[in-house]
Structures are given as structure tokens and as C-alpha cells.
Structure 1
């Protein structure tokens, strides 16, 4: 399972930081957002070409440029400018200085915006963040639908991972918009990034990310491990699209995650991270149903657990630019699940045994080690007949497996409850709509007052009949014996003693009943059944 988190070690940055224009630039594909917006019906030729272009650029370059229309492009430029003024004002308020260039010499800054989260009193925030969040969210979902389309999946196959749209009241979005001011400077001949860890590249964790910047300066690592300037040919209305690890997990590695880094002296950027809900489950079953081959290491897992594993992995990677050997020989502490899982099949080691060299194996790897008579970890010869059960590892594997099962069951129950609640909320609307379609205005008014069952048990009624009522029953007097569902009644004909089942639309209240006195020519409900 550790292989799916494998990150490509970045190449060393030169001792002198050149302008962004001097980095190798690759003319990645530019796709118009208007061409990848999904719609009902058969896809047009422009949509199919745009999807293929987007997916091809992601495959070849791990990135693609999304071109906004004029209105959205203008709004994004305003959002970038407001972010710039925000960081400048925050630097001046902190006492760094009031010079127009002094704020550029600061180490940088970060502002995070989430839809649905209330700002605390006194918070200083850049304008236009709400509008930028909506625009980038629309573009991110369109790109996600395009990726699904290219993989021969339904466009909405990943919808269960996303927030509801529109976002319910008092609910905070899982996705996030990050405004960043990155300040690079030279320290001992090495590039130092003002925001985040020094000189580090970053791998997107979520489903995908969209980046808008005021200056080209973002490098992306292509599938061959080479870094290139991804936004060198971008315009003021372009967004850089990169994919993340959550999407890689949900697509069984068919759409790998992207590594990127900032390489310019000063950059103000807006980064929208399309994140899955923490209680959702990353499952590759739709990928398998589409005919793709799924490695056994890609097992269903909750988003919260997946993100915890990524965080634990990042904490064990030492990636410093002052010692490039650390990039090639970085220390990776395996996660608990990788230690308790078979590296070949991904199954939990419920049959773990200790071989003669002291290492523990189980499942398919144990069979392989026994066949080779050699340990796959220390390469020492082993005695295939000396196998000692590792009860501690077995118990730990069972415990982790049961915990995963409880998580999956809990999330399945939550999804079922949410679906039932949504259906209950929609039921009155559907009922009212059906009532309006089936009945006239007067009948609809009576239904809204609870006249779906206007008669009581033991009440006398007259059968007025309709097209489905036998002629022999029309005009007969009857008494109601019991009430059935959907306005149906079981009646007993007083004259013959015969029992029949009729709906309330076929009945009148008989004169002399407890609510009698009403003329038979004025039925409660005049519309035919």
C-alpha cells in the first residue's frame, strides 16, 4: 500500500534563482471552461474534443490550463488584486513598514477561505473571496466531470464525494480557497520559499486543484520526473489544473497526483482545492465496473483515514534543499496499515508468521518467501519449515480491519439516513404536486385540509359511482366498515349486505348521517375518480 503514496523526488534547484522565463516551459494544452461544462443530452463534438484535450494534457504533462470567459476572468483578476492588497495591508498593520516595496520583503502569508464558515469579529479578509470560490468551484467540478467522462464513467460518479450544491445552510464546505503570497529569497545560494517549508515541492492531497496567479512561476513535475514551467504561456484569465492523491485513490491510479512548486521571487496566487467530504468513502468499484484493472492495493477507505495516512507519511519525509542527498535517500516511515498488510495482495496479515530470520510475513508474500527460501527484506536464507505464528501482529491486523469495517458501516448508515431524510423532505412536495394533477382546484383545497379520508367508520354514505363503478351499485346506500390506504374504503351495501371496496371519490355523505343535512346534489367531492 505504500507504493500508491510514492512521490517523485524533485531535482535540485540551481544555486542562483533565475527569472521564471528562464525555466524550461512546455506548451501544455489550454481548454476553455465553456467547452467542458456538462449538460443534459448527448455530448456535442466540441465537448468531446475538449474532454480529450484535457485528459491528454493531464496524461502527458500532469497539468492543463483552463481558460475562463471574459466575466470570470475579470472577477479572478479582481480577486488576485484584492489578495495582494490584503497581504500588503496585513504587513503594514503588523508594523513591518509602510513603504510600497517593504511588504514584498516580508516572508509571505496565507489566507484561507471556506464557504459557509462565519468570520469572527475583527477579522481582516480580502474581498471577492466568495465570488472566486464559486467560480473556481464551478470550474473544478466541470474538470472532475471531464476526467470521469474520459474514464468511461458517468459524469456524476464522484458526486457522493463532494459537498451538496448548493451548500446547505449552516454547513461548512470541505473544499477550500487559499490565497498565498510567496516570497523567495537567496539564502546561502539556495532558494528559500517564504510560505511553507523551505524549497519543498508539494503534492495535492484532494481531488484536484485550480491555481490562479499574478505572475508565471509554478513548476510541475511531468510523468517522466522532469520539472517544467507549467504556467509560462498562461494568460490573465487562465487557471492551472492539477490532480491530487484523493482522485488517484478513487481512480485506482489511472489519474496520478501531481507535484508542483513555486520558483519566482514574488507571487500572489489563489489556489482552490476541491476536497472530498471527510465521511465519504474512496472506492474504486465504479472504475472496475467500467472495465479497468484495479490493483489489489486499492481497497475502500474513508477519506478521513486516507488523509490521516497521508499526513503521517509526510511527517516522515525529510526533504531539504540544503542537502540534496536527502531528496534521494529520504526516510519513509511506513504507515500502520502498510505494516499490517501483505505488500503483494494488500490483505491484512491475519495469518502472520515469523520466519527464521525474525521478519514476519503472511498471505501471498509468505508463499513467495517459502518458495524462494530467502527473506525478501534482509535477503538471508530461511528455513521454510520453521514458522512461528506472530499472534501480536495477527491481533493488530484484525483490530485495524474491524475498525475499518466499523468506519465503512458507520458511513454507509450516515449516507442512508441522509438519503431517507432527503426523501422525507421531498415527499410532501411530490404529494402536493400529484394532488394538483389528479384533482381540481376545489378538491386540491380540501386535500390540503386533510380531506384525503373524509369519511369515518360506521358512517352511512351514498354511492355516486364513476366509470369504474358497477352500475348495480350506483345510487345504493352503504355503511363504511373499515378504512384502507390512499382513500379507499370497505363498504357494506345496506340493501343486499354485499361488501365492496370503493375510493372516496365515488361516495357521498348520506342524509341523516352524523354530518348529515347536506343535500345529495352537493357532494363533498365533485370530481370523478
Structure 2
């Protein structure tokens, strides 16, 4: 008699405090938390970061602000630190605090991934925006705050880039963190099975996903998360940690750590990598029914979404 299939490994739940160093010192459970995080990303395509109470309060404020700001409409707003509001433009409350909170968590996750690969925890810092952000400089990373009510017409969702929920998506940056007040994201594991990854949603739980840029700078050692968004009644925050436009994505740290690198992973300017990834994603989805409004635009050398209060607009 054949043995029943083994149950899938559980999605790791790692406390942010366990992977974020304090005063230059690692937490007692740091190595165990880093290992659990890396194993979950490899096998399940995702992991969950548990926020401390103070950070969870900030995320809760931002989620509640999203519901109040959009007042039941299907809408989204893209926040970038350092960007000046245009005349008459309104922004949901708590965005600056939420951006800092999620940015800190994303960098901690990226550092933990680097440590698992036998790299310095700060090895990828040179590819990111400076912190604090210099005056008059706009962040490359972005925070998408969105609200969707039940199912949108034509099967589209505002999470991500307005694609069909049944169409697998990948992000172009290093890591993505998602917080929501209701579950609704399915992730594909290493066996090709889709599962609900954010079944336990709330302001203290962040779903961690990995993107194309991280896979490139790690020579494929860190897999790319594939996910799809179900159309739920939900407010959500999606933070994408993105390389700055002048960065060069290369695998020299991976090579120095003794890992093998395939020829395909050549150094490439981050701006070119991001735009090439956007073009590839657009080509794959071009056969789908187009949404009623276009949201692609170029900002700071990247093709990205520009979303305003109450409407979606395109800049070229």
C-alpha cells in the first residue's frame, strides 16, 4: 500500500524582534528564526512576520485609514516617501508612519535572508535608498494602500497591478510585505500547489514575499514568490522594497561567499532590470482583457503605478 502524501510544511511565523538586531546585537533566537524564515520561503514561497505591539498599532491605524479614506469605493493610493503632494491631492492618514514601519521590517527580512546565505547582513544596503532619505529625494520603494469591496466587476483586483486574480503575479523588487484586515492572497509552493497564505490576517501579521531583484542578486538561490489575489472585502497595505535607480544588481557577494553562479546572472543597472521586468510582465498579460483604466507610468526611471485619490491615472 502506498504511503499517504506528507502534509505540506507549515508557513513559518517569525517574530520581527527575532530577526531585527537591537543595538548591534542579535536576539537569542536569531539563528533559529533566520533558518525558519529561509526554509519557509524556499518550500512555501512565503513567510509571516509578526510585528511588535507598537508597529502593529501603526499598521492598524493605516488599515483603518484606508477604509475611511476610500469610503467603500474600489480604489488605491500609492505612497512614496519624499514625494510632494500635488495641488488638491489628499493622502490617507498614517502613511508616513506605515512606510517607515514596513520599510524597517522589509530591511530586517532582507538582512535575515542575506545572513542565511552566509553574507553580511548589510550586504544589500548599498542597493537601497539611504535612511533617512535625503532632502528632496523620492524613495524608490513604495507603499500601496488599497481597498476592495467583495468582487470587482470583470474579475480585476486593485492589489498589485490590476490583473486578474487567477493570473499568477510576481513582484520586481527585493521583498514585498502585505498587511490586510481580511485574508485573500494565495501563494504557490515549491510543489506547484496553491494555498491561502494569509489565513490569519491582522495588523500584527505581515505576509513576506520575495521578488525578481532578490532572485537576481542571489543568483537564483532565493526563489521568486508567485501569488494571486482573491477578490475579498479587504483593506490592505503592500510595501515593496525596491533597489534605487542608480544601483547595479550583481552577484559578486554570492560569488565571494563560495556559491556557484550561472552565466545568466550578469550585472545590470537596477533601472534597466526593473523596466525589463515590467515589459516582460506586460507581454505575458497583454492577451487578458484590459482594465477600464491604465495605471502604468514611468517614475524615476521605473515603470510603476501612479494612483490618486478616487481615481487611477497614467503618466508617460
Query: Which band: TM-score by shorter chain?
Result: 0.7 to 0.9
- The structure 2 residue matched to 1:182, chosen from 136, 144, 148, is 148
Root-mean-square deviation over aligned CA pairs: 2.2
* 1:250-265 matches, cutoff 5 A: 250-265=217-232
Match in the other structure for 2:32: 49
Point out where structure 2 has 5 or more consecutive residues left out of the alignment.
1-6, 290-316
The answer as to 2:167 corresponding to 1:204 is no
Asked if structure 2 preserves the Cα contact closer than 8 Å seen for 1:212 and 1:269, the reply is yes
Q: How big is the shift at 1:45?
A: 3.5
CA separation of 1:319 and 1:27: change in aligned 2, threshold 3 A: farther
- What secondary structure, in the 3-state scheme, does the structure 1 residue paired with 2:29 have? helix
**CA distance in structure 2 between the aligned counterparts of 1:72 and 1:185, rounded to whole angstroms:** 30
Counterpart check, 1:135 vs 2:114: no
Match of 1:38 in 2: 21
Query: Cα 1:202–1:321, aligned 2, differ >3 Å: closer, same or farther?
Result: same
SS at structure 2 position matched to 1:315? helix
- Deviations 1:98-153 (CA, angstroms, capped at 9, x unpaired): xxxxx3xx5x2110111111112321211000000000011001000000000000
Match of 2:62 among 79, 89, 92: 79
Contact 2:184/2:199 (8 A) holds in 1: yes
Deviation of 1:41 after TM superposition, in Å, equals 5.8
**Equivalence for 2:127:** 161
Deviation at 1:315, TM superposition (A): 2.4
Corresponding residue SS for 2:111: helix
Structure with greater helix percent = 1
Between the aligned partners of 1:243 and 1:264, the Cα distance in structure 2 is 22
| Mapped partners of 1:127, 1:25: distance in 2 | 40
3-state SS, counterpart of residue 34 of structure 1: helix
Q: Which has the higher contact order (CA 8 A, sep 6+)?
A: 2
Quote how far apart the aligned CAs of 1:71 are: 1.2
- Which residue matches 1:70? 53
- Tell me, yes or no, if the aligned pair for 1:177 and 1:271 is still in contact at 8 Å: yes
Q: Do 1:36 and 1:142's aligned partners in 2 also have CA atoms closer than 8 Å?
A: yes
| Larger Rg, first or second structure (1 or 2) | 1
Q: How many equivalent residue pairs?
A: 279
Which string of whole-angstrom CA distances, capped at 9 and with x for unpartnered residues, describes residues 72-118 of structure 1?
11111111000111111xxxxxxxxxxxxxx3xx5x21101111111
Q: Does the CA contact (< 8 Å) of 2:140 and 2:242 recur in 1?
A: yes
CA distance in 2 between counterparts of 1:86 and 1:171 reads 26
Distance, in Å, in 2 between the alignment partners of 1:258 and 1:282 is 19
So what's the TM-score if we normalise by structure 2?
0.83
Q: Please give the secondary structure, in 1, of the residue aligned with 2:195.
A: strand
Q: Hey, what does 1:58 align to over in structure 2?
A: 41
Partner Cα separation in structure 1 for residue 87 and residue 173 of structure 2: 30
* 3-state SS of 2:76 partner: strand
